[in-house]
Amino acid sequence: MSAEILSLSAAQAAAAVAAGELDRAELWGAYRERAATDTLNAFTWVADDAPAAVDGPLGGVPLAVKDLFCTEDVPSQSGSKILEGYRPPYTATVVAKLQAAGAPLLGKTNQDEFAMGSSNENSAFGPVNNPWDLTRVPGGSSGGSAAAVAAGLAPWALGTDTGGSIRQPAALCGIVGLKPTYGACSRYGMIAFASSLDQAGPLTRDVTDAALLFSEMVGTDSFDSTSLGMPSPVLLPTRRDLSGVRLGVPEELLEQEGGLEPGVRARFDEALALAKELGATVTPCRLPHAEHALSAYYLLAPAEASSNLARFDGVRYGLRVDGDHDLMTMYTHTRAAGFGPEVKRRIMLGTYALSSGYYDAYYGTAQRVRTKIAEDFAAGFSAVDFIVTPTSPGVAFELGAKSADPLAMYLNDFFTVPMSLAGIPAISIPAGLSEGLPVGLQLAGPAFSENALLDAAYALEQAIGFDGSPARTGEGR
């Protein structure tokens, strides 16, 4: 029975509960037991007891939540030693909404420290194994969430995406990941990395699950001044064809130096061919400033992070390492011991970018590039409905392969960062395998086009027919 329950998608499980065919406690128990046997290091905390049942559209389907979401009285550490054991006094809005809609908290998932990373190797609580190949990374920073869903340890999960942190691990783990329009969901209670870029989003087995979870996440929040909600309700996708849909391919971007792995390019081209069969037109489109996106991103995001992470000072919560009887050394000892090397690197970068005398050359220029990129997309969407790219230039890489080379690691976000800077929605769906490892296809649309985006992604998903089940029944092969 348990294997049968675990094989259901979240939407199927919710429907079965609603129809009285599946007992909510049994559903919880199956996943609780499965999560407790996690050998991927995907979870940093798993719930002990079944929470009180809440009737709602999410049908009691348990939810894995990225560590950086604050959950009341439950460890919320953002993958950092400086927050080890920290249990906040409140719950993030998005998590509270999903709980109220009937998705109980199954566990907290591992991540790169403060969401800074593309491999989940920057976690203070150890790396996560990719269920498709235990010697490889699951991607990051929402690596724990992606691995948990791919391995069937959780029916679905919450992640956050700043420059690709939902889409890239979804691609590397062979699942679906949606980064919503900036402002669609509340950020209240998400431990901030880069405030102008961070967005919560679903990591799920399929597009329907992503739409279902997303539909209960959205909305304005009186605790988040940048939350806008969605202009119309989120619908479950139904579309089976792509007739009349115009897809744009930014060829220049795809031909960048150090570019795509051939297997990724092959799956991408096959997906485009399928899209044409479904009735879509595929045309080249130009994003002339997108090649500068990574450079702008690695100034803006660290700049905001250097300010957001300044509050971790050992005074009120989290780690404190005593100083030499003065305040300054308490600060420096605490932060030296509490932050990992990648976080320190970005704090240094960001502090420098904001320094008096350098501000305009770095932060100012990066903001102008960001505006240009947003204008590129706006111009692009006047001619096409969606822009499609591979999600990541390559498949999951070996643990440790890029740890020593930050710039190589940053290139993982090459296709995902431009959309983040523009604040527009983008989804990654599995497009098949390359060398036995999943390849992701990214579709991006104009701000608040999630319904159309989910519909198009659903049509492609049905046509591609990716079978992710090998990863789900066993942890790796």
Partner 1 sequence: MTDYEPVIGLEIHVQLGTTTKLFCGCELSFGDTPNIHTCPTCLGLPGALPVINAQAVHYAIMIGLALECEIAPRSQFHRKNYFYPDSPKAYQISQYDVPICGAGRLGEVRIHRAHLEDDAAKLTHLGASGRIDDAQRSVVDFNRGGTPLVEIVTEPDIHSPQQAREFLTLLRTTLRALGVSDVDMSQGSLRADANVSVRPVGSDTLGTKTELKNMNSFAFLEKGVKAEIERQIALLESGGRVAQETLHYDPVSGRLTSLRSKEEAHDYRYFPEPDLPPLVVTDAMLEAAKAAMPELPAARAARFSSELGLPVERARELAFRAELGDYYEAAVTEGGDPVMTANWIQALIERIGTEIDPADSKVTPEALAAVVKLVGDKAISRDAGREVLSKLVDEGGDPAAIVERDGLGAISSADGGLAEVVAAALAGDPDAAEKVRAGNMKAVGPLVGYVMRETKGRADGGEINRLIREQLGI
Contacts with partner 1 by CB under 8 A lie at: 68-70, 76, 78, 83, 86, 88-90, 92, 187-192, 194-196, 222-226, 303-304, 306-307, 310-313, 315-317, 326-327, 331, 351, 354-356, 359, 363
User: Of 165, 215, 227, 306, which is the active-site residue?
Assistant: 165
Residue 141 annotated among the catalytic residues of the structure? yes
Nearer to partner 1, 39 or 225 (CB): 225
User: Of 66, 81, 97, 108, which is the active-site residue?
Assistant: 66
Nearer to partner 1, 284 or 364 (CB): 364
Nearer to partner 1, 152 or 318 (CB): 318
Q: What angle do CA 128, 179, 403 make, to 5 degrees?
A: 35
Kind and range of the H or E element at 276? Answer: helix 262-277
Residues in Cβ contact with 425 at an 8 Å cutoff, skipping those fewer than 6 apart: 178, 179, 180, 181, 184, 419, 444, 445, 447, 448, 449, 450, 453
Query: What's the CA gap between 94 and 104, in Å, rounded?
Result: 13
Kind and range of the H or E element at 376? Answer: helix 365-380
* Smallest separation, CB 458 to partner 1 (Å): 32
* Smallest separation, CB 191 to partner 1 (Å): 4
SS3 letters across 86-143 = CCCCCCCHHHHHHHHCCCCEEEEECCCHHHCCCCCCCCCCCCCCECCECCECCCCCCH
| Cβ-contact 43, 126 below 8 angstroms | no
Nearer to partner 1, 99 or 451 (CB): 99
Nearer to partner 1, 77 or 428 (CB): 77
* Smallest separation, CB 184 to partner 1 (Å): 15
* Smallest separation, CB 114 to partner 1 (Å): 10
* Smallest separation, CB 387 to partner 1 (Å): 25
Query: Among candidates 253, 38, 32, 31, which has minimal Cα distance to 131?
Result: 38
Nearer to partner 1, 246 or 372 (CB): 372
Residue 356 annotated among the catalytic residues of the structure? no
User: Of 123, 141, 142, 215, which is the active-site residue?
Assistant: 141
Residue 97 annotated among the catalytic residues of the structure? no
Pairing verdict, β 156-161 and 176-179? unpaired
Sign of the Cα torsion 236, 238, 239, 240 reads: positive
Nearer to partner 1, 310 or 379 (CB): 310
Query: Among candidates 118, 122, 157, 158, which has minimal Cα distance to 139?
Result: 118
Kind and range of the H or E element at 451? Answer: helix 450-464
The residue type at 161: D
Q: What angle do CA 307, 415, 392 make, to 5 degrees?
A: 105
* Smallest separation, CB 323 to partner 1 (Å): 12
Query: What's the CA gap between 181 and 231, in Å, rounded?
Result: 11
If phi over 0 gives left and psi between -120 and 50 gives alpha, with beta otherwise, what is residue 312? beta
| Cβ-contact 267, 432 below 8 angstroms | yes
* Smallest separation, CB 111 to partner 1 (Å): 14
Query: Among candidates 90, 203, 207, 222, which has minimal Cα distance to 156?
Result: 203
Nearer to partner 1, 22 or 353 (CB): 353
Pairing verdict, β 105-109 and 281-284? unpaired
| Cβ-contact 305, 346 below 8 angstroms | yes
Query: What's the CA gap between 425 and 232, in Å, rounded?
Result: 15
**DSSP symbols for 246-269:** EEEE-HHHHT-TT---HHHHHHHH
| Cβ-contact 173, 139 below 8 angstroms | yes
* Smallest separation, CB 48 to partner 1 (Å): 24
Nearer to partner 1, 23 or 360 (CB): 360
* Smallest separation, CB 372 to partner 1 (Å): 18
Active site residues: 66, 141, 165
